[in-house]
Amino acid sequence: MIKKKKTFQKDKYGRYIKSKEFDVYWDEYHELEDISMKESVRQKIERTKKIETKE
């Protein structure tokens, strides 16, 4: 019985991801980055508005 060798790729955090899922993994990772960036910008705008109203 011959077992197929599982192929894995390592991401930048050192985690091993199945090769066929690697592109899907990075697509999801980039979507999370975009959401995080949008939220950071939203919070910054909210903070600057609060500072402006206090003055």
Q: What pLDDT, on a 0 to 100 scale, did the predictor assign at position 33?
A: 92
pTM over 0.75: no
Task: Return the half-sphere exposure (C-beta side, CA atoms, 13 A cut-off) of residue 13.
Answer: 5
> By percentage, how much of the chain surpasses pLDDT 90?
33
28 within 8 A of 16, measured Cβ to Cβ: no
User: Per the domain annotation, does 1 fall within a domain?
Assistant: no
Q: Who has greater pLDDT, 11 or 39?
A: 39
User: Per the domain annotation, does 46 fall within a domain?
Assistant: yes
Mean pLDDT of all residues belonging to the chain: 82
Domain containing residue 36: 8-54
Please give the tally of structural domains in the chain: 1
User: Per the domain annotation, does 36 fall within a domain?
Assistant: yes
